[in-house]
Each structure stands twice: as C-alpha cells, then as structure tokens.
Amino acid sequence: MSISDAQALRYARHLNLSDVGPSGQEKLLKARVLVVGAGGLGSPVILYLAAAGVGTIGVVDDDEVDLSNLQRQVIHTTARVGTPKADSAKVAVGALNPDVNLRVHRERLKFDNIATLIADYDIVADGSDNFDTRFLVNDACFFARKTLVSAAVLRFDGQLSTYKPHAGGPCYRCVFGEAPPDDVWTCSQVGILGAVAGVMGTLQATEVLKEILVLGESMAGRLLIHDALSATSRLVKINRDPGCALCGDAPTIRDLSIHAASNGGVCSV
C-alpha cells in the first residue's frame, strides 16, 4: 500500500509527526477496529478513528437514534432520529472520510456471535454502558487475544484502560470482578454531562491509535479516572489478579457459555 496524493494532503499533520509518518499512516489505513456501541463514547471514537484514516471500522449497535441521545452522541443528527445508530454512523463517516470502510453490525452482541464478529478486527473499543456487555466483550477479547480499549462514563466522571492480558497486564475481570446482579448502569436512569463522554471517548480513540501505532505508554496495567467537576485525572496502577476466574492461575471460565443467559445487546451510553 502506498499513500496517494490526496491522502498525503488529508493526513499531512500525521505525516509531519516523526513518530507516525508515512509508515504509521499505512498502519492506520490497514488497521481494523471494532467499536462496541455508537453512543456517547462511540461517537468520538468512531469520528476520530475515521478522521485518522483507520481503514476498517466495525460498529456494533442494534439501537436506533433517539432524540434524547443527541445531547452527547455527536455522530448522529436530528434528521436521523429513528434510524439505526450503526447506519447513522456510516452516513457520518462516509461524509467525513471516503478512505474508511465502515462495516455496520446491526445485531445484538451475544455469547454465540461475538467471537465471529471480533475475529475480523485487531482491536476492540468498548463504549457500552452495561456490565453484561462489558464482561462479555472482555471475555471474548481474552479468548481471541485481542486488545481491548475500554471506557466508561457516568454523571461527571469517566474511566479508561486498555486490557491485553495476552501481552501481560490484567483483564477487565481482574479489576472489576463479576457483573453485579442488578445492573445499576442502565442507559437512561443515570444522567451524564454530554461533554464528559466526549472527553473520555476522545481519550479512548487516542489510546486505540497509540496501540495501532505502538506509540508511547500503553494504558495496559493502568486505570485513568477522570473527574470533570474538579478537572482532574489520576492514574491508578492495576494488576493481574492470580485469582481471576478468566485469566488467573486456575481459571474457571473456559468459554463464553457463562454469558448464555444474557439477553445480549449493546446499550451505548
């Protein structure tokens, strides 16, 4: 693959970066990232990855654009209320960057389809807002040895980390244990300042690009906790848990069948 004249202009500010340059841009154009949820986090993730020229972006979302989404889900528009979010994201990305192949996955994410879905991608960015989906995505990424960049937002707070237990460091389960029986993070019950999703989703996109380009320090083994009200962020070291049911020394989770009872779906923030 070589970069065309139009691409040299489009990505000029990447090409100017000595740590990216033409070879880095080619890596981006060849990269395949699956974004779980085209919501408040997924919106900036998809837009920045598309703008950066990530060649293949998969979007899993089985929801439709609702008027109440537009306060934070900036990839969608008033005119597209009622259309599937994944289709809406495809329209936005098509207008932004024709270099990007956006693949629409308008399906519920379940234990029996997730492995096939993520097999086509190098990196998974999780922007879902419920624990069932987060644990399912974590477990599927672990078995498929895929890097997972995961973010979460609530009210005025956000969290972000990268999980790649196949390359050292903890998995999501090591840090958060098990999904609570009653999911307290439902889509609509808890409010969020829309721009906080933008902050965390943009950080998430940055970490995905760093993983593709192998730049700087990975967030693997570190959890970023952002507090918008005090405008502060802190980094907490997170470790692999030898007792983790998934990636620990005596794992009890051997496949994704523990998620069989879950209704699946993607409920994006």
The footprint of Zn ion (CB under 5 A) covers 171, 173-174, 244, 246-247
**Cβ atoms of residues 89 and 38 within 8 Å:** yes
- Minimum Å gap between C-beta 111 and Zn ion is 18
Matching residue, tokens 């979010």:
85
Question: Of the two residues 216 and 243, which places its CB atom closer to Zn ion in the complex?
Answer: 243
- Minimum Å gap between C-beta 220 and Zn ion is 12
Question: Of the two residues 98 and 177, which places its CB atom closer to Zn ion in the complex?
Answer: 177
Query: Which H or E run contains 94?
Result: helix 85-96
Pairing status of strand 232-237 against strand 222-227: antiparallel
Question: Of the two residues 25 and 218, which places its CB atom closer to Zn ion in the complex?
Answer: 218
The beta strands (E) that lie in the chain are given as: 32-36, 56-60, 101-105, 123-126, 147-154, 157-163, 222-227, 232-237
Q: d(Cα 98, Cα 174) in Å, to the nearest integer?
A: 39
**Catalytic site residues?**
187
Question: Of the two residues 27 and 173, which places its CB atom closer to Zn ion in the complex?
Answer: 173
- Minimum Å gap between C-beta 42 and Zn ion is 24
- Minimum Å gap between C-beta 251 and Zn ion is 8
- 31: which 2 tokens? 């990269």
The beta strands (E) that lie in 195-237 are given as: 222-227, 232-237
